[in-house]
A and B are shown apart, each in its own frame.
Chain A
Amino acid sequence: MTIWSEPRLLPCGDRAVSVELGDEVNRELNARVLALEYLLQQRRLPGVGETVPSYRALLVYYDPLVIGYAALEAALRELCAAARPEVLPPARTVELPCCYEGELGFELDAAAEKLGLPPAEVVRLHAGSDYYVYFVGFTPGLPYMTGMPDRLTIPRLVNPRTKTPPGSVSIGGIQCCIYSVESPGGFWVLGRTPVRMYDPEAADPILLRAGDHVRFRAIDRAEYDAIAADVAAGRYAPAIVGGS
């Protein structure tokens, strides 16, 4: 496992530093990144601004007119030593309905052929897994997840699409993601959830958080349409278990 024995502090211009804890996609490593972010937020260091967690690093924005680089580095190294997954609050599990049928899962058949599995088996394996959200981003609210069985590992599309509908549940490599806004994409679209990852109209526009677990529940087209109507009317909230 590639976790550095000492964190690497990599300056990014005059107002940010990347605290790199390792170099791979690994839940233990990611949990340490989230723990570092959690401890840094609790510390409330003057001059420390936004933080952006990712698989293996925490990007920390700071105001050098308030906190000097040496003081920031010392504080970050001290917090890294204490950043264990145990410090994090309990994780949530979010259940997302997903329709794998027809135009909503427009690359299911092609992906199944590539994987050498019947489409129904791809759906069964995909919907039967527990997914872990490493972090949320790229576009607003997009979760970076793993959790699929090895049999669903698939190379990314050779020719990425220029447009992917929001809500598209898709796989590439060992990862699963849900497109949050219409955007280009290189993952295979297996289905679509009617739940919005990003809703600019909502008081809290982002559904998923780093560290969440996600389960998919396969639904048919009629249920998809019913939930989509409830989502549009502001009457739908996905089932969320746990958390604090």
Chain B
Amino acid sequence: MSLLSVQEGGPLTTIQDAGRFGHLRVGIPTSGPMDREAFLLANRLVGNPDDAAVLECTLVGPRLELTDARLIAVTGADMSPTVNGAAIPMWEAVPLKAGDVLRLGPARAGVRGYVAVAGGLDTPRVLGSRSTYVRGRLGGLGGRALRKGDRLPLGAPAPARPRRLRAGRAPAYGTEAEVAVTLGPQDDRFTAAGIAALLEGPYELLPQSDRMGARLKGPFIEHTRGHDIVSDGVPMGGIQVIGEGQPIVLLADRQSAGGYTKIATVCSFDLGRIAQLKPGGRLAFRRVTVAEAHAMLRDSVRALDTAIE
């Protein structure tokens, strides 16, 4: 059997595919990649379908060995990938031989790196998905982060030529990011000054941020009458504002419902920018209409579809 062996797991390396759909209504989050763009490109570079399972590495990457020859691609955060000690390029397919050791180091820019292997990771699907939800001990490998000694089965690769990103298409991850938001669902529970504070920003990303949510610190956001609501569904990218007037952006492993006011919602195509912002980085929110958001989504899909040579 073709395997990817884990020699070192890194602090939080998990298996993620496009996500687990259909179970949010009973509280099981979608999970899936925090940076969908880097995830998709990793798969496309090695000729995988868009929903194939890859590794998502966090802050520091793993050390991995392949039992047979495969194309791999590393995207997302710059973790200075090497094969047998020699640097390899990111954002392009690299052919590896049996026994090659791929190593990803600490992230120099960005937070989350993605490793796709041609054929995809072939761990069992749980509720229709290979994505790992660590808090719920679901999916991936035993519902947990990878560790030394794990052996991941690989699927059969489709015939593919090595591809790479067009010049200038790789995203640059800095210490500042701006994301598009639509106001609501509970913008009517905030004062004009509160909404202005959110849009003025910027907010600092706190180290307590994780796959559930990005915790932020910045200008005080004022409510009209308290932060409690009759609990309702928490959308992906929802910006919850609790008692201290500070926002939390709810992400892939978020709770499905909650009882706090949500002032605005980050658009799907910009969530990867938050995933790649390091603690201490600054985040700004820009208000758009739903129609503008849909036009921007179409542009982002087009950009992704033309990103690879």
Contacts and interface: CB of A to CB of B under 8 A. Distances in A.
B256 A52 contact: yes
A169 to B, nearest CB: 17
B105 interface: no
A135 interface: yes
A56 B232 contact: yes
B291 interface: yes
B25 A137 contact: yes
B257 A49 contact: no
A58 B255 CA distance: 15
The DSSP consensus for interface residues of chain B is mixed
Interface size, A (range): 35 or more
Contacts of A15: 235-236, 268
Contact of B255 (A20, A69, A139): A139
Interface stretch (B155-163, B181-189, B213-221, B275-283): B181-189
A54 B231 contact: yes
B178 to A, nearest CB: 15
A64 B28 contact: no
Nearest to A183: B135
Nearest to B136: A140
Contacts of B120: none
Interface in A14-64: 14-16, 18, 20, 23-25, 37, 49-59, 61, 64
B15 to A, nearest CB: 15
Q: Find the residue from A14, A68, A137 having the highest chain B CB count within 10 A.
A: A14
Contact of B298 (A50, A52, A53, A65): A65
Most buried by B among A12, A16, A56: A12
B185 A18 contact: yes
A52 to B, nearest CB: 4
A206 B28 contact: yes
B251 to A, nearest CB: 12
A193 interface: no
Nearest to B294: A64
B22 A139 contact: no
A141 B27 contact: yes
Contacts of A37: 25
Interface string B236-251: 1110000000000000
Contacts of B290: 11, 14, 69
A18 B233 CA distance: 8
A152 interface: no
A187 B232 CA distance: 19
Contacts of B267: 13-14
A137 B181 CA distance: 25
Given A13-B236, A52-B256, A200-B138, A69 B291 contact: yes
Which of A53, A135, A140, A209 has the most C-beta atoms of chain B within 10 angstroms of its own C-beta?
Answer: A140
B167 interface: no
B258 A136 contact: no
A16 B237 CA distance: 10
A144 B231 contact: yes
Given A49-B21, A52-B257, A64-B297, A137 B232 contact: no
A10 interface: yes
A198 interface: yes
A135 to B, nearest CB: 7
Among A37, A54, A69, chain B packs the most CB atoms within 10 A around the CB of A54
A14 B293 contact: yes
A50 B290 CA distance: 19
Contacts of A20: 185, 232
The 6 closest A-B pairs by CB, nearest first: A59-B233, A137-B27, A52-B233, A13-B265, A12-B235, A10-B185
25 contacts: A10-B184, A10-B186, A13-B181, A13-B267, A14-B269, A15-B236, A16-B235, A18-B232, A18-B233, A20-B185, A20-B232, A23-B230, A37-B25, A50-B24, A52-B233, A54-B231, A61-B235, A64-B294, A69-B290, A138-B27, A138-B231, A140-B26, A141-B26, A181-B136, A210-B25
Interface of A: 10-16, 18, 20, 23-25, 37, 49-59, 61, 64-65, 68-69, 135-142, 144, 180-181, 198, 200, 205-206, 209-210
